[in-house]
Amino acid sequence: MHHFSPTALETYQSCVQKYVYRYEDELYPPNRSEQAQVGHLFHKVMETLLKEKISLVDSKHTLMHAKQLMPELKPPDSLSSQGLDPFFIYQLTTDLISQQIQLEQSWVETTSVSPGIAEAKGTISVGPYKLELRLDRIDRIGDQFVFIDYKTQETPPSWKALYEYELLQPWIYSLYGLETYGADFLGFVYFLPKKPLIRPVLAFSENFHQSMLSFQKIKKKFIEPAQVHDHIAPLKKHITALMDRIKAKDFLCPEPPKSHCRTCSYKPFCHVLLDHHGS
């Protein structure tokens, strides 16, 4: 049985060559960008705060504890060796954590939620394949469950990408939620601390859908429970087709570079990009 992840499938869809570098050749860019370092540190801090059962809504205490964790989770030398200013990285991460606390306060006020499991792992089978999952967080509302994912970029993932299955993570995690929790799985939500914004994405309960409308400015684009279930069969078909192509090593990448090539960490040595500029 072949093993895949939502990130790997999204990478394959967006750029076959990037998938090959990352997952087939196991090549890693020597330096992570400033934004990537901040995102990684933010995730590690949030994971540690939850595991240590630190309140996420006590502004002063939470922020103080987060600042103490940063040098432990990402030592200054590890950042300096990559040509980055560690204290600047810590400050940017502190700003994100501060805005995340605002989101946590709003989240608790609206849902009476109990922050639960941090960095939960799981697997789900789709056809002959197994997908490996790593969720940022699972929260409880009473006896029911909500999946949370942190996005540290400023722009929320587009609705178009969600509807057209370019964005697979929410769908795949929700399949896992339905399989694991059944009717007790409520939905999938993004936290975007840079905005700051809480963006409900998928709802599997009418009550949860109604409570999430307070966070959703464009109501008509919020996928309602009745619509979500209609996507499950075509979604599984789409995922299986992608994994069939990867298994068959369909790695031809003839198209010219896309806009995201400009910020790709593999840009300096990508032969597709170099061939295009040389032609």
pLDDT digit string, tens, across residues 176-234 = 999 999 999 999 999 999 988 888 888 888 888 888 887 765 544 556 677 778 888 99
Is residue 264 assigned to a domain? no
Helix, strand, or coil (residue 120): strand
**Is pLDDT of 172 > 80?**
yes
Is residue 202 assigned to a domain? yes
DSSP letter at 256?
Answer: P
* pLDDT value for 249: 94
Helix, strand, coil: what percent of the chain each, to 5? 55, 20, 30
Give pairs for 60-63: CB < 8 Å, separation 24+. Answer: 62/97, 62/101, 63/94, 63/97, 63/98, 63/101
Handedness of CA 93, 99, 102, 103 (dihedral sign): negative
What value does the mean pLDDT take over residues 236-255?
A: 90
State how far the Cα of 39 lies from the Cα of 43, in Å rounded to an integer.
6
- For residue 137, give its domain range: 1-13+113-252
Is residue 31 assigned to a domain? no
State how far the Cα of 122 lies from the Cα of 157, in Å rounded to an integer.
23
pLDDT bucket at 136, cuts 50 / 70 / 90: very high
Is residue 18 assigned to a domain? no
pLDDT digit string, tens, across residues 49-97 = 999 888 888 888 999 999 999 999 999 999 998 888 999 999 999 999 9
Angle 250-257-13 from CA coordinates, rounded to 5°: 40
pLDDT bucket at 137, cuts 50 / 70 / 90: very high
pLDDT bucket at 257, cuts 50 / 70 / 90: low
Is residue 274 assigned to a domain? no
Longest dimension (CA), the chain: 60
State how far the Cα of 216 lies from the Cα of 201, in Å rounded to an integer.
9
pLDDT bucket at 254, cuts 50 / 70 / 90: low
What value does the mean pLDDT take over residues 24-33?
A: 77
Is residue 192 assigned to a domain? yes
CB atoms within 10 A of CB 126: 18
State how far the Cα of 249 lies from the Cα of 244, in Å rounded to an integer.
9
Mean pLDDT of the chain: 86
* pLDDT value for 262: 75
Say which residues have a Cβ less than 8 Å from residue 98's Cβ, sequence separation at least 6. Answer: 59, 63
pLDDT bucket at 31, cuts 50 / 70 / 90: low
* pLDDT value for 217: 59
Q: How many structural domains compose the chain?
A: 1
Is residue 123 assigned to a domain? yes
State how far the Cα of 169 lies from the Cα of 188, in Å rounded to an integer.
10
Q: pTM for the whole thing?
A: 0.89
What value does the mean pLDDT take over residues 236-247?
A: 95
35 sits in which H/E element? helix 34-51
Chain Cα centroid distance, residue 230? 23
**Is pLDDT of 101 > 60?**
yes
**Is pLDDT of 1 > 70?**
no
Bond from prior residue into 196 cis (ω within 30 degrees of 0): yes
Is residue 279 assigned to a domain? no
Q: Tell me which of 82 and 8 has the higher pLDDT.
A: 8
* pLDDT value for 256: 63
